[in-house]
């Protein structure tokens, strides 16, 4: 996949989030009922829907720019890699929030963003190369402040941040620790 096609895919996801936010705002934020509500049956679908829902346009924009940048850095490895990483982050991270998160509605792409961030940092450890090291160093420099997102704050799902980052680490561990197939080894 070339870089332009990958960026178009990431931009398409971002446009979808913006369109969903417009619909959410127009309907009086009725879509927030599809957020993740821990330890409830009706909150289970929120594991998959909550990353696309935001409480305001400011909330969306705070997640959108890092998503565009970090998502592009992951999709450069290919669409299948981006989908696998995202699926692990969303499902594992969301499931952990569902199991252990505070009572209330959890929404927003920040868990996904934290997961992409952790994946990029962990990728440099599990697949050592100069390119991954430079990328991880730049990401650590630009987004090192994300570490403060692990601290509990009123109205912020720090659990989503924490479990998203954990899931991003797990994604890197799983995807780079798998034995190489004969096809990959021949390259």
Tell me the per-residue pLDDT of 177-187, one tens digit each, with 9 for 90 and over: 866 554 444 44
Q: Please give the mean pLDDT across all residues of the chain.
A: 91
Sole residue written with tokens 């995807």: 175
Mean pLDDT in residue range 150-175: 91
Express as a percent the part of the chain with pLDDT over 70: 94
Give the residue from 32, 17, 178 showing the smallest Cα distance to 106.
32
Query: Could you give the CA distance from residue 162 to residue 102 in angstroms, rounded to a whole number?
Result: 13
Mean pLDDT in residue range 26-52: 97
Domain-wise residue ranges, the chain: 3-185
**CATH number for the domain whose boundaries are 3-185:** 1.20.1540.10
pLDDT of 47 strictly over 90: yes
């Amino acid at each position: 996949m070339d870089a332009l096609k990958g960026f178009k895919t990431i931009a398409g996801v971002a446009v979808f989030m913006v369109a969903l936010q417009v619909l959410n705002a127009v309907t009086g934020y009725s879509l927030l009922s599809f957020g993740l509500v821990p330890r409830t049956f009706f909150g289970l679908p929120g594991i998959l829907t909550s990353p696309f829902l935001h409480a305001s346009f400011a909330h969306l924009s705070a997640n959108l720019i890092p998503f565009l940048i970090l998502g592009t850095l992951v999709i450069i490895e290919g669409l299948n890699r981006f989908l696998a990483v995202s699926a692990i982050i969303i499902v594992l991270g969301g499931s952990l929030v569902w199991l252990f998160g505070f009572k209330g509605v959890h929404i927003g792409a920040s868990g996904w963003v934290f997961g992409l961030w952790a994946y990029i940092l962990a990728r440099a450890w599990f697949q050592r190369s100069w390119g991954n090291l430079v990328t991880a160093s730049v990401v650590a420099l630009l987004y090192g402040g994300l570490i403060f997102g692990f601290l509990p704050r009123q109205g912020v799902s720090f659990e989503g941040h924490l479990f998203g980052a954990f899931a991003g680490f797990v994604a890197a561990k799983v995807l780079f620790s798998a034995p190489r197939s004969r096809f990959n080894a021949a390259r």
